[in-house]
Amino acid sequence: MFLTVDDSIFTLNLKKNLNKKQTMKKITLTAAIIFAALSTFAQGWTMDKAHSRLSFNVTHLMVSDVEGKFKSFDVSITSSKDDFTDAVIELSADISSVNTDNDYRDNDLKGPGFFDAAKFPKLTFKSTSFTKIDTKNYKLKGNLTIHGVTKPVELNVVFNGTFQNPMNKKTVAGFRIKANIKRKDFGVGADFPTGVVSDEVEIDANVELNK
């Protein structure tokens, strides 16, 4: 039996299709293996709320400091390296949990003149890079969202190392984070004069994480 020209073309196309399917299977399998490997090596860290805080400080009438904090917030880190240089860091805080030890002032901060918690209930941050400067010091860059406005920010981080908790045998890591931001960049208290409340806000946070 002899193959016609049409039969030959059909056979050739069939082989090409089979080769394409085999190649796609190999690509899919390779991608699955890579994804599984990354998932295996990446470690998740969750915040120990009892040993973490998120505080801020502003200047009142240009002569005194007023401190506050967010009582409800959370931080998570995913990293495959012991020095966290590939870390992806995320933070969120409930605006309604703002606390300055003064109910009248706290209600003002939650209101439409400042944070407007009813309309913008969350403060969020997601990292874009975590760069090691020396043994303990890092530069953390990312996008901060407050009052519905997102801006790139840079934070100074001190990595205090890791330790095994003798009580539960979990590995813990500690970080100290500091930064300065301007509230008016985010539309917070935009109509409030800086002579009454400083535009610059100091951020100061301690975070303890469990592996």
Please report, for the chain, the start and end positions of each structural domain, with discontinuous segments joined by +. 1-41, 43-210
Please tell me the least confidently modeled range out of 39-48, 108-117, 196-205.
Answer: 39-48
Pick from 132, 101, 102, 209: nearest CA to 165: 209
Give percent of the chain above pLDDT 90.
76
Q: Which amino acid is at 86?
A: D
pLDDT value for 55:
98
Q: What is the CATH number of domain 43-210?
A: 2.40.128.110
pLDDT value for 37:
46
38: confidence class by pLDDT, cuts 50, 70, 90: very low
pLDDT value for 36:
46
pLDDT value for 162:
95
30: confidence class by pLDDT, cuts 50, 70, 90: low
169: confidence class by pLDDT, cuts 50, 70, 90: confident
pLDDT of 4 above 90: no
pLDDT value for 167:
85
pLDDT value for 191:
92
pTM: 0.80
pLDDT of 82 above 50: yes
Q: For the range 137-144, what are the long-range contacts, defined as Cβ-Cβ under 8 Å and sequence gap of 24 or more?
A: 138/84, 140/89, 140/177, 142/89, 144/181, 144/186
179: confidence class by pLDDT, cuts 50, 70, 90: very high
- The better pLDDT of the pair 10, 151 is held by 151
